[in-house]
Copies of this chain bind each other. A is one copy, B any other.
Amino acid sequence: MADGHANGDEGLTLDDLHVGQRFESGTHAIDEAQIVAFASQFDPQRFHLDDEAARHTLFGGLAASGWHTAAITMKLIVGGGAPFAGGVIGAGGEIAWPRPTQPGDVLQVFSEVLEVTPSRSKPERGAVTLMSETRNQHGNVLQTLKARLIVPRRPPPAG
């Protein structure tokens, strides 16, 4: 994506995006140590901390915090899964976790552009709705995220 749109960033501007465009991220392998470290800091519940205790819960075994899955998804998107000029700036969205993320899962994010909307009030940018599925190595969907992103427009030619 090194087609350099002369706005101080490499990456796609709003004008380079269209509905149906797809992106695929790299991968991230998650293990028990990562799950417990994140949960200890942000979501210290027994099903995110201890495999034995988690067996007696809804999860049936150690599961990552949904917010951990979300954070890894962001890492994968920022790392090339959505190569937008100016970075990946989200205003919000809808998130769901259809199944738990477990130790040994290898996460990858598959994204598709659902909407591209130039801003009426701000000529230099617009909004993109991006649907991102986070899947494991078996193709199971661990998270869906429909996000509203702010993306810059291509600057007008100089002169």
Interface size class of A (residues with CB under 8 A): 20 to 34
Closest-CB distance, A54 to chain B (whole angstroms): 11
Whether a CB of chain B sits under 8 angstroms from the CB of A75 is yes
Q: Which of A70-87 contact B (CB under 8 A)?
A: 70-72, 74-75, 78, 86-87
Tell me whether A88 is interfacial, beta carbon within 8 Å: yes
Within 8 A of B (CB), among A29-87: 38, 41-47, 57-58, 65-67, 70-72, 74-75, 78, 86-87
Please determine whether A87 and B42 come into contact, CB atoms closer than 8 angstroms. no
Main secondary structure of the interface of A (DSSP, over half): mixed
17 A–B contacts from the bound complex (CB under 8 Å): A42-B71, A42-B75, A43-B71, A43-B78, A44-B78, A57-B87, A58-B89, A65-B74, A66-B90, A67-B67, A67-B70, A71-B71, A91-B97, A92-B95, A93-B94, A93-B96, A94-B94
Interface residue ranges, A against B (CB under 8 Å): 38, 41-47, 57-58, 65-67, 70-72, 74-75, 78, 86-97, 144, 150
